[in-house]
Amino acid sequence: MKTTDKIRKQLSDHPVILYMKGTPDEPRCGFSAKAASVLKATQVGFAHVDVLSSPLIMQALPEVSEFPTFPQLFINGEIIGGSDIVEAMYQSGELLPMLKAATED
């Protein structure tokens, strides 16, 4: 399976997924820490991929998302943005309804 196909499968399998450096419990960069902490604060479940341990995904994801930096948050397969965008959307009240809508059955 090509790396881009693997990414597309992850995006279709997980309504909320964060591609980050490290893990939500052990982030390995400040921006990833901020994005993970905002998502944790929403108390909505999310999947994550540690791009540092998946270098092919780290290399291919910016081509798929057309977003150059990490972390990258996707909701329902659509790129939302990085840590600053995620934080701003949380503070404005936009993020939580999007997360809840994506994860409700």
Q: Among residues of the chain, what percentage have pLDDT more than 70?
A: 99
**3-103, what's its fold?**
Glutaredoxin (3.40.30)
Instruction: Indicate the domain borders of the chain.
Output: 3-103
For the stretch 2-38, pLDDT in tens is 999 999 999 999 999 999 999 999 999 999 999 999 9
pTM recorded for the entire structure: 0.96
Q: Among residues of the chain, what percentage have pLDDT more than 90?
A: 97
29 appears as a binding residue in the annotation: yes
pLDDT at 105 over 70: no
For the stretch 68-78, pLDDT in tens is 999 999 999 99
Which residues in 46-72 are b (16+ Cβ under 10 Å) and which e? Answer: bebbbbbebeebbebbeebbebeebbb
Torsion of CA 32, 38, 41, 46, to 10 degrees: -60
Task: Give me the pLDDT at residue 1, please.
Answer: 85
